[in-house]
């Protein structure tokens, strides 16, 4: 089932008094229970594409759909909560691991909702191979790889249908980066999909790869996915997928 769709997405910026089109007519479709990579040269617009999907910037044109419903029908705050963008640098607050994991529930957008219990949080940490990290531990005592996993878990705990990861493994050593990939694949189950920007070699956890280059977005299915050591609740094995669409007109920044 398609969870997220973008059609005819076009973004331009004003440069030296003129409009410069970064990408034009981009289309993508993300299936439930699948992880996708977004690659492309530096400056091609990958982060901007994620921000446009999360409605964090204005787009010149194009339509976004979540579960078939157009974005116009969804309030901005609700959309951003459902199409959740995790930036490269984990924006963790000072305090404990628990403080950080429940941070979203201190925000207005989650007002009235019950935050996850300690046992639910401990279970999440376990699944991220952070079982030895106590909820009461100060985040200043965590390694970069552990911080990145806590940031990812925090986003995952809010159960967004669409998770957009902007190079969350960029600053990590290869082992930690692989742990992030494995965790992402493990967590993205039913009613969820994930698009992640990566500059590293493919890690085998993605069902397909979008490439943004010269203003156009293309897509290729990946040959096979790496096995993960565990299963997400409700997941029935490998990602179900139909070929997502990707389209874009030729022509880069102009
Ligand atoms: N608000 C803005 N106003 C003008 N130009 C912008 C704005 N935001 C991004 N850009 C430009 O758009 C281009 C694409 O930026 P973006 O960060 O999306 O690229 P990227 O593919 O994610 O790059 P990288 O791989 O290096 O992170 C850059 O040239 C950037 O300077």
The alpha carbon of 46 and the centre of ligand 1 are apart by a number of angstroms equal to 8
**Maximum alpha-carbon separation in the chain:** 55
Distance of alpha carbon 238 from alpha carbon 214, whole angstroms: 32
120 CB neighbour count, 10 Å cutoff: 11
Question: How far apart are alpha carbons 157 and 25 in whole angstroms?
Answer: 33
Give the pLDDT score at 179: 84
Nearest-CA residue for atom 6 of ligand 1: 13
Topology given in CATH for the domain delimited by 2-221:
Rossmann fold (3.40.50)
Nearest atom within ligand 1 for CA of residue 40: 21
What pLDDT, on the 0 to 100 scale, is given for residue 241?
39
> What is the spatial distance between Cα 10 and Cα 230, in angstroms, rounded to a whole number?
39
Q: Does ligand 1 have an atom closer than 6 angstroms to the CB of 42? A: yes
| Spatial contact of 38 and 24, defined as CB atoms under 8 Å apart | no
Amino acid 92: pLDDT: 87
Which stretches of the chain score pLDDT less than 50?
229-243, 247-254
Which residue spans within 205-247 are E strands per DSSP? 208-213, 216-221
The pLDDT value recorded for residue 230 is: 41
Burial class of residue 139, CB neighbours in 10 A (0-12, 13-18, 19+): buried
Fill in the DSSP letter of residue 138. Answer: B
Query: Environment class of residue 66 by beta-carbon count within 10 Å: exposed (0-12), middle (13-18) or buried (19+)?
Result: buried
Helix (H/G/I), strand (E/B), else coil: 101 = helix
| Residue closest by Cα to atom 10 of ligand 1 | 13
Helical (H) or strand (E) element with 39? strand 34-39
Q: What is the DSSP letter of 201?
A: P
Residue pLDDT, tens place only, 209-234: 999 999 999 999 988 766 554 433 33
**How many CA atoms within 13 Å lie on the side-chain side of 80?**
11
CA of 201 to the centre of ligand 1 (A): 22
The ipTM, to two decimals, is: 0.96
Instruction: Give the CA distances from residue 66 to residues 110, 126, 201, in Å, rounded to whole numbers and listed in that order.
Output: 20, 30, 29
* Ligand 1, atom 5: closest residue by C-alpha: 13
| 51 CA from centroid of ligand 1 (Å) | 11
| pTM to 2 decimal places | 0.85
Every domain of the chain and the residues it spans: 2-221
Sheet containing 162-166, strands listed edge to edge, beginning at the edge strand earlier in sequence: 83-86, 162-166, 193-197, 34-39, 208-213, 216-221
Beta strand pairing status for 34-39 and 208-213?
parallel
């Amino acid at each position: 089932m398609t969870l997220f769709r973008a059609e005819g997405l076009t973004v331009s910026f004003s440069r030296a008094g003129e409009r410069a089109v970064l990408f034009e007519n981009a289309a993508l479709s993300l299936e439930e229970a699948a992880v996708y990579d977004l690659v492309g040269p530096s400056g091609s617009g990958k982060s901007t594409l994620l921000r446009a999907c999360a409605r964090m910037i204005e787009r010149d044109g194009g339509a976004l759909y979540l579960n078939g419903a157009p974005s116009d029908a969804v309030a901005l705050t609700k959309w951003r909560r459902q199409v959740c963008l995790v930036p490269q640098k984990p924006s963790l607050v000072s305090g404990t691991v628990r403080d950080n994991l429940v941070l979203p529930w201190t925000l207005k957008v989650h007002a009235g909702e019950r935050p996850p219990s300690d046992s639910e949080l401990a279970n999440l940490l376990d699944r991220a191979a952070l079982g030895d990290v106590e909820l009461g531990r100060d985040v200043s005592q965590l390694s970069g790889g552990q911080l990145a996993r806590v940031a990812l878990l925090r986003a995952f705990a809010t159960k967004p249908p669409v998770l957009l990861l902007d190079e969350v493994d960029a600053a990590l050593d290869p082992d930690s980066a692989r742990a992030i990939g494995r965790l992402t694949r493990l967590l993205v189950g039913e009613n969820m999909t994930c698009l992640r920007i990566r500059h590293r070699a493919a890690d085998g956890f993605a069902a397909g790869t979008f490439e943004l280059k010269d203003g156009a977005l293309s897509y290729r299915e990946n040959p096979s996915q790496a096995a993960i050591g565990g299963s997400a609740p409700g997941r029935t094995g490998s990602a179900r997928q139909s070929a997502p669409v990707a389209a874009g007109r030729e022509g880069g920044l102009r």
